A and B are shown apart, each in its own frame.
Chain A
Amino acid sequence: DQQVKQNSPSLSVQEGRISILNCDYTNSMFDYFLWYKKYPAEGPTFLISISSIKDKNEDGRFTVFLNKSAKHLSLHIVPSQPGDSAVYFCAAISNSGYALNFGKGTSLLVTP
């Protein structure tokens, strides 16, 4: 039973343009959301997070938007760079949970 879903397995974007990665969740108890980035043969690394009391969090080129009513969040990368090419995992947890629930990941390719 997958509670965090990333329905796009892959995305290709030109350098300099905006990348938008989407994530949906089913558990209304989730109140903290994270994005992780993963390069091949490496472990996932934390990128950005958002609490359910906010609807937007920005860190440099990365912005996460949360729409609680739609149970949807998105990661915007602007401008996209070739070094952003990686797999991006969405994750979520409730305040009573002890482990992150991950989506399946979206593979982003930024082309020059």
Chain B
Amino acid sequence: DTAVSQTPKYLVTQMGNDKSIKCEQNLGHDTMYWYKQDSKKFLKIMFSYNNKELIINETVPNRFSPKSPDKAHLNLHINSLELGDSAVYFCASSQNRLAGELFFGEGSRLTVL
């Protein structure tokens, strides 16, 4: 049973399209995150939700919109995709908002052509 699962694992799309990545955790954690790993390999926080409430929103273009229907799910919707959005997006969860140990999903590799 995968603790943090995200779909799709691979996504290839054209510039200008809209796409979504879904994430689910079955750990009973209160807090979920989206991290982006770009071509330089840095893992950067994008968003964090605690019990469906947004608590972190880093400097991310507003084309990126997270949605948390319940505390076990955190989806990422991206509008008007650009070449620079190509990256691996990791979903993660932690027991509470004081992020210590994170549990990561396998990552979703997005390629924008």
Give the interface of A toward B (CB within 8 A).
2, 32, 34, 36, 41-46, 49, 89, 93, 95, 97-102, 104-105
Complex-state Cα separation, A43 to B100, whole angstroms: 16
Give the interface of B toward A (CB within 8 A).
4, 33, 35, 40-45, 48, 55-56, 90, 92, 97-107
Complex-state Cα separation, A89 to B43, whole angstroms: 9
B residues in contact with A2, CB < 8 Å: 42
Complex-state Cα separation, A64 to B98, whole angstroms: 21
Q: Once the chains bind, are A32 and B100 in contact (CB under 8 Å)?
A: yes
Our count of residue pairs bridging A and B at CB distance below 8 angstroms stands at 56
Q: Once the chains bind, are A44 and B48 in contact (CB under 8 Å)?
A: no
Q: Once the chains bind, are B43 and A42 in contact (CB under 8 Å)?
A: no
Partner of A95, one of B4, B35, B56, B98: B98
Q: A41-B106, A44-B102 provided; 5 other pairs, C-beta below 8 A?
A: A42-B107, A98-B55, A98-B56, A98-B98, A99-B99
Complex-state Cα separation, A49 to B42, whole angstroms: 20
Complex-state Cα separation, A32 to B90, whole angstroms: 22
Partner of A104, one of B33, B42, B97: B42
The 8 A-B residue pairs with the shortest CB-CB distance, nearest first, are: A43-B104, A102-B43, A99-B45, A46-B101, A44-B104, A43-B106, A104-B41, A43-B105
B residues in contact with A45, CB < 8 Å: 104
Q: Once the chains bind, are A34 and B106 in contact (CB under 8 Å)?
A: no
Q: Once the chains bind, are B107 and A43 in contact (CB under 8 Å)?
A: yes
Complex-state Cα separation, A68 to B42, whole angstroms: 23
A residues in contact with B40, CB < 8 Å: 104
Q: Once the chains bind, are B101 and A49 in contact (CB under 8 Å)?
A: yes
Closest-CB distance, A48 to chain B (whole angstroms): 10
Closest-CB distance, B35 to chain A (whole angstroms): 8
Q: Once the chains bind, are B99 and A97 in contact (CB under 8 Å)?
A: yes
Complex-state Cα separation, A41 to B4, whole angstroms: 14
Q: Once the chains bind, are A43 and B90 in contact (CB under 8 Å)?
A: yes
Complex-state Cα separation, A95 to B98, whole angstroms: 7
| Residue ID in chain A nearest B9 by CB atoms | A41
